[in-house]
């Protein structure tokens, strides 16, 4: 009789906990720092501006779900433009810290593994430089859940110019850039179907360090 194989658990939760425990993305005066991509004004300010423009273009305020909210330096600047803002991260201590330091009537924090658990309901999913850290298996488990939203705003760090999308990695601190790859949800093996795609922003980093692209998907 064959012994049933035990699936290896996804390492994401422990990997992300380690990022903050060991300050792998840098540090500030708190124990939680989500890296330069969430703090450098030249990256953050244009992103906040295009999100504000998108939200202002809608007829009424909507519910935003921020998946991978990190230290909330970015999300905190968008809360007032939403009817409700649901911020999610996989690191329990980080979420507890955010709950204690960011309080608004329309703001909620939840500790969830978005690859394994059900997502909260909302109108627009914001996923900012999160999928780039995840394995293809995890991303594939997330993609079907995005169909519940009217909009998805996706930000990814990818190589400049043409590249082979979606080369697999082990979930953790690193991203596909080392393999000259990046996440493209519309390409195999994810094949996300969208009604409309609009590039909101493209920020070129230093020579050889790629670009940070933000796209808006209007879903079916």
The pTM of this model reads 0.94
- For the structural domain made of 20-218, what CATH number should be given? 3.40.50.150
DSSP the chain: -PPPPPPPPP-HHHHHHHHHHTTTT---SSS----GGGT-HHHHHHHHHHHHHHHHTSSS--EEEEET-TTSTTGGGTGGGSSEEEEEES-HHHHHHHHHH---TTEEEEE--TTTSPPPP-SEEEEES-GGGS-HHHHHHHGGGGGGSSEEEEEEEE-SSS-EET----SSS--GGGGTEE--TTSTTT----SEEEEEEEEE-STTS-EEEEEEEE--
What pLDDT was estimated at residue 173? Answer: 87
List the domain boundaries for the chain. Answer: 20-218
What pLDDT was estimated at residue 207? Answer: 87
Peptide bond into 189 cis (omega under 30): yes
Say how far apart CA 215 and CA 218 lie, in whole Å.
10
Q: What is the CA radius of gyration of the chain?
A: 17
Burial class (CB in 10 A: 0-12, 13-18, 19+), 188: exposed
Cα 78–Cα 82–Cα 85 angle in degrees, nearest 5: 80
Render each residue's pLDDT in the chain as its tens digit; 220 residues.
Answer: 554 444 544 589 999 999 999 999 999 888 899 999 999 999 999 999 999 999 999 999 999 999 999 999 999 999 999 999 999 999 999 999 999 999 999 999 999 999 999 999 999 999 999 999 999 999 999 999 999 999 999 999 999 999 999 999 999 989 999 999 999 999 999 999 999 999 999 999 998 899 999 999 999 9
What pLDDT was estimated at residue 6? Answer: 44
Tokens encoding 61? 């305020």
């Amino acid at each position: 009789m064959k012994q049933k194989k035990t699936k290896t658990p996804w390492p994401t939760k422990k990997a992300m906990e380690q990022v903050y425990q060991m300050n792998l993305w840098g540090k500030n005066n708190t124990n939680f720092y989500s890296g330069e991509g969430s703090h450098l004004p030249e990256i953050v300010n244009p992103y906040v501006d295009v999100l504000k423009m998108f939200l202002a273009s809608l007829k009424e305020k909507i519910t935003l779900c921020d998946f991978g909210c990190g230290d909330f330096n970015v999300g905190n600047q968008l809360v007032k433009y939403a009817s409700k803002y649901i911020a999610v991260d996989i690191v329990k201590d980080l979420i507890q810290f955010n709950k204690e330091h960011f309080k608004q009537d329309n703001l909620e924090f939840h500790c969830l593994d978005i690859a394994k658990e059900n997502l909260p309901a909302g109108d627009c999913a914001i996923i900012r430089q999160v999928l780039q850290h995840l394995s293809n298996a995890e991303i594939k488990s997330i993609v079907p859940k995005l169909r519940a939203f009217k909009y998805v705003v996706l930000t990814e760090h990818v190589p400049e110019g043409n590249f082979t999308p979606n080369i697999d990695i082990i979930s953790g601190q690193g991203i596909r850039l080392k393999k000259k790859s990046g996440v493209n949800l519309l390409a195999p093996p994810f094949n996300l179907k969208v009604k409309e795609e609009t590039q909101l922003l493209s920020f070129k980093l230093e020579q050889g360090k790629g670009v940070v692209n933000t796209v808006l998907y209007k879903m079916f």
